[in-house]
Chain A
């Protein structure tokens, strides 16, 4: 091979690399442009109106309201929004609060926020009815569930605390209850409360709690405990700092506004793929009778909210193609016969505030 041949070969290779470089730059830039355009279009067509200024239109306390996390793609993505519960036609109001998960009751709200960065940090922000943050509590991991007590006194939240993936791929969680007005912890970790199972105290070190939901009077709560490979429903009392197991195989419970029932999700393996499918169920507390809501055939991974004493509401991934980060709310009557109905697009983490009869 002559030096001239070598030069020519080198030039060809540099040219080939240059072409690849340009092509990848073009692909990345073109796709970024496409995403920017897509987001702009999505926010024009779907985003709830933002009142223009940073001041939020105050919430009408006399009417029941749906408070939720907006998942319309664009600037408003992840912002908390609200609208009257009984008026599907009225526009939502977008607040400046950005949350992964939100819940609101009786003038007090809890927002589980993530601040992207290196490292990404997480905080539970307690806010008032003007959506101003009054307390911020650092969280140990990514947010999972958030709940206010109906009287607005307590906030409860669950975060994931990553496990050691090598030997034990099971997840670990931490659930805290705090006083919403002062931000002081009632229980930094529910593990601090006494847990009774069939009258005996449980002190296994692998106890995990998640998914708190409060009783209508706000003094008691239900939650899921996972221990020894089992998941069970516990009922707890805040004043006595005591919990007891009341039912088996229940995840992410939600206490009905009339106090008589618990809606929850339950794992079931699905057929040949062996993938886990969460199905919705309702438990009648007095009789222990369960109703499987099998008309919802999809995998529901949410802690549901009761719209009223007859219907629950929960979020599902939006069925847009290709898949996006958008979600959609579905409502389902708890009679076990009715089909789920599409309730609200581009919404996640629903909470019903100013319930008729509450307070």
Chain B
């Protein structure tokens, strides 16, 4: 490792007002994510994997494989968090995750048209995502001033989303010039993945953890204590995890929002990708302002009230008009919801996690919220199937209102204290 002290990494280069206190690592990690997202989105945009899978596997088999992949991903995330903290090798663990996903692009090339292999490659790709996310977020949080956490995550998520928007564009341009050349698409996607990995390996530096005396939050981080018991004793962290889980269980997945919107406004199904683009654009534009707002007003508050945007989006879906403008309003609200919650939650958690525990803590939080969202998706799907969309939306509207009420004391009181 490079004997650099954490402070020099956190210090920004210039005195450009609001951007000082953001280390070069933040932008570099954003660049890594941008390149990796180009790599993954250009594949998922054109591969009709959905059809391949639904046609080749029975729903039961698909559900089983999907569930298995989710479990493996959750386990991989916790394990990677623990390894990254235990040996203080966040960058190496993140690189491992990026490498696994990048190798999957070549796996697609080798899989040909075999459904079984395609499914396996997709599962391994997700595994890579599970491995890399928490160490990367920990690196971001340790490469900026404590007061700029929201801004740092905002910058990273904005770059990340830019990659997700560019990926499909590049894919379609490629297939326009070389029709049917899916192998070329996989090769180019692999190249973008390798570049992302190269940015990480060549330029991102492993920040040193704070000395024990420097630990900011209320956690008692005895160096030899198990990370799990240390996390269990970290009350601000537990409160945030509880809030994230409760809110996650009342969150309507974006796929449902797009589908409901498509039905309501009678836009052709082929318009759904445009909805995704619109939402991403709003997310992209609001990620930095929302992060700044979190730094100023309290990240937990912004996270909590960000769910208000989702509440409004659902209410608009249920009670609003069927015009395109009403639909666009829902998408804008959804984008604002992501901007106020995704990076902001990671920033809020980083603020209460000692650096030696940060990756593990972020992994626990991410696992808890993703399991909660999975439960919510299954529940929403079931309600939709049995009672129709109106009931499903109504129940979730009520559920989200209650969840915000339950999470409010967890988010607001602790903010005041910390």
Contacts and interface: CB of A to CB of B under 8 A. Distances in A.
Interface of A: 1, 9, 13-14, 16-17, 20-21, 23-25, 27-28, 31-32, 35-36, 39, 73, 77-78, 116-122, 138-142, 160-171, 269, 273-276, 301, 317, 322-325
A119 B271 contact: yes
Contacts of A165: 50, 255
A122 B270 contact: yes
A283 to B, nearest CB: 22
A217 B180 CA distance: 38
B27 to A, nearest CB: 15
B228 interface: no
Nearest to B193: A24
B274 A24 contact: no
A125 B340 CA distance: 45
Given A28-B191, A138-B268, A164 B172 contact: no
Interface string B380-393: 11101100000000
A188 B183 CA distance: 37
Interface of B: 2-3, 48, 50-51, 53-59, 61-63, 66, 109, 112-113, 115-116, 168-169, 172, 175-176, 178-184, 187-188, 190-192, 194-195, 198-199, 201-203, 253, 255-256, 259, 268-274, 277, 377-378, 380-382, 384-385
B259 A164 contact: yes
Given A122-B270, A166-B253, A274-B61, A21 B195 contact: yes
Contacts of A301: 55
Contact of A39 (B48, B51, B181, B380): B181
B112 A322 contact: yes
A117 B171 CA distance: 10
B273 A166 contact: no
A20 B54 contact: no
A156 to B, nearest CB: 19
Contact of A17 (B190, B199, B273): B199
B109, B184, B273 interface centre (most CB from chain A within 10 Å): B184
B387 to A, nearest CB: 12
Contact of A275 (B116, B183, B274, B381): B116
Contacts of B62: 169
Given A119-B271, A323-B113, A27 B191 contact: yes
Given A140-B268, A169-B63, A118 B273 contact: yes
Contacts of A269: 58
Given A164-B381, A167-B380, A21 B198 contact: yes
B371 to A, nearest CB: 14
Contacts of B184: 31-32, 35
Contacts of A163: 54
Contacts of A275: 56-57, 115-116
A32 B182 CA distance: 11
Given A116-B176, A117-B172, A140-B268, A24 B191 contact: yes
A77 B181 CA distance: 11
B376 to A, nearest CB: 10
Given A119-B270, A275-B115, A317-B113, A167 B57 contact: no
Nearest to A174: B269
Contacts of A122: 270
A180 to B, nearest CB: 22
15 contacts: A17-B202, A20-B194, A24-B191, A24-B192, A27-B187, A119-B270, A121-B270, A161-B269, A162-B50, A165-B50, A165-B255, A166-B255, A169-B54, A169-B63, A275-B115
A20 B198 contact: yes
B183 A116 contact: no
Given A17-B198, A140-B270, A35 B178 contact: yes
A28 B255 CA distance: 33
B272 A167 contact: no
A13, A28, A139, A324 interface centre (most CB from chain B within 10 Å): A28
Nearest to B3: A1
A13 B198 CA distance: 10
B287 to A, nearest CB: 22
A317 to B, nearest CB: 6
Contact of B277 (A27, A117, A118, A325): A118
Contacts of B63: 169
A16 B202 contact: yes
A276 B203 CA distance: 47
Given A118-B172, A171-B54, A28 B188 contact: yes
A12 B109 CA distance: 33
Contacts of B115: 275
Given A118-B168, A164-B255, A141 B270 contact: yes
Given A168-B59, A170-B59, A171-B51, 5 more contacts: A20-B195, A162-B50, A169-B53, A169-B54, A269-B58
A166 B59 contact: no
A296 B344 CA distance: 57
B242 to A, nearest CB: 24
Contact of A24 (B182, B183, B195, B253): B195
A233 B206 CA distance: 63
Contacts of B271: 119
A168 B380 CA distance: 11
Contact of A162 (B112, B198, B269): B269
B202 A167 contact: no
Contact of A13 (B168, B203, B268): B203
A14 B191 CA distance: 18
Contacts of B382: 167
A273 B269 contact: no
A273 B3 contact: no
A77 B270 contact: no
Contacts of B201: 16
B256 A164 contact: yes
Contacts of A317: 113
Contacts of B3: 1
B48, B51, B109, B175 interface centre (most CB from chain A within 10 Å): B51
B323 to A, nearest CB: 20
B181 A119 contact: no
Contacts of B58: 269, 276
Contacts of A39: 178, 181
A276 B56 contact: yes
Contacts of A13: 202-203
Contact of A167 (B113, B179, B268, B385): B385
Contacts of A171: 51, 54-55
